[in-house]
Structure 1
Amino acid sequence: MGIIQPLLNKPAPGWKYDLPGPNQAQTVKLHPHILLNAPNHIDELYLDLPRATVRSRGIGIWLAICFLFSSIAPPIFMSNYIVDTGNAPPPLLALSLLLPFVTCLWGGVYMWRMDVEPPRDEPIRFNRLRRKVYVYRFFHDGRRPFSRSAWGVRVEAYNWDDLRAEACSVYGLMGTGGFIETVTLAVVSPGTNKVIDRFHFAHGIQQGEMYWALAQLFMQQGPQALPAFTRPPRDWNNEKVTFNLARRLAPKVKWPENMDLESRTALCCTDSMSESNSRL
């Protein structure tokens, strides 16, 4: 399963080892009962797996409210100073008030958007006949928390043969400190190990290895090779999230119509539709 040196150029941050390639044999034994969520959908054409870049939600929204309320304090203090003294505050005092104002405002907006704007699921679809992978990706930019164009969902398609999976472990700012383990998928230039894109696949190496093995089995052998799942698929768009305000406000998963059709159909279906349209 693991190798001494990374295969890719460049490896993912916190690289630990590479998982088997898309057309190689699986190296882990599947245990469906330990998966946090069963696949969203399985049929002869495509496998839809759940995915989320944000692991937990619901706390950030309340921290954001605290930060935004805190950002009001510096302007109020400055206004009171001007009213009481009749003069503008000295530069050093103004700077000492500006910094916490900007920090609290930036932090509040960023935490709010990171808790509320990611969709309820960021699924990834593996189309066996097309040998394509379709990723419902949420993009964000912490340096531009007020931007509209830098935040949002994009759907991207990749060739199955160009995907590579990596197990990673990076130090994260947790309550007591600790390592965050993930599995990421890299997209390489065909026939090379040069990475041209990379995205999150699963939280936890064990979960990521299981999901990657499921995708390998499906793409190599079909749905009949997959094990039975003890848990039913989760309906992300219609789940009851009464006590989690962030998930209540989160947008539902809505694939673009053209990509939704392409990711769920075979090449022959698309060719037939194109021929029918051309005859019309």
Structure 2
Amino acid sequence: MSTSHHTQLIKSEAKRLGFMSCGISKAEFLEEEAPRLEKWLKEGKQGEMQYLENHFDKRLDPTLLVPGAKSVVSVLLNYFPSETQRGDSYKISKYAYGRDYHFVIKDKLKSLLHFIHDEIGEVHGRAFVDSAPVLDKTWAARSGLGWMGKHTNLLTKQVGSFYFIAELIIDLELDYDTPVTDHCGSCTACIDACPTQAIVEPYVVDGSKCISYLTIELKNEIPNEFSGEMDDWMFGCDVCQDVCPWNRFSKSHSEPLFNPKPELLKYSKKEWEEITKATFNEIFRKSAVKRTKYEGLKRNIQFLKEE
């Protein structure tokens, strides 16, 4: 079978598994990204996310993650919900409404890898879902699945940005896609709307100022300088995506596992303020919100309440 046939097989199966799209790029050293990443880290824009400083070489070279790697197969999975939380509630980022995406996508990618073994033969590779030093957005952009917006999220025409990105790195040569052009133009909606001014310049986010970082990754107390700036977000933040003109094309996902518990949509601020550990465990069982733990969510709510 030819590389073109292998490529089509993989893309067709990815679509059958429910992925929104699939693009493929050559597994090689990310020369352009190296100085950019080094500068960002040196300027401390990772905040307390020390893990981003580890495995610098692996982040830039997929062959160090999968020996003999030839291709990076990038996939997108829609998570845009059909319903959102009530207006007078503390807010949760839409990606965390349902089942933790790590498990959902990992299962789909494992199925894709099994399919490759069955249909093509002995192919070595690994599935990556935010779980290793892989620059997901960079690989997706190189695979032609979208362009990096000024808010540093991947953007796709007709689709927007409310999707997860993951990849298979495999030692199989395939046909490679080409990057698409940037369509942000002169728009600065995301920069203007960011509540904490975390988008410090187009295409550069200071992670230590981002509400997602402050409510999820930050383990210490939220600094007082952000009081009154959190826009009622208790887990994550969607502001830069919500205001992006390209997201007017977003369509609801069709993955039942991403549907939220009814309480998540109907709870008021008062109900969130009174949430018990038992209720937290019930609403967020197998949810990405577990990452911040009950104590972390309570800390965030208390900070918002005192603003």
TM-score range, shorter chain: under 0.3
Structure 1 or 2: more helix by fraction: 2
Task: Give 1 or 2 for the bigger CA radius of gyration.
Answer: 1
Instruction: Give TM-score, length-normalised by structure 1.
Output: 0.25
Instruction: Give TM-score, length-normalised by structure 2.
Output: 0.24
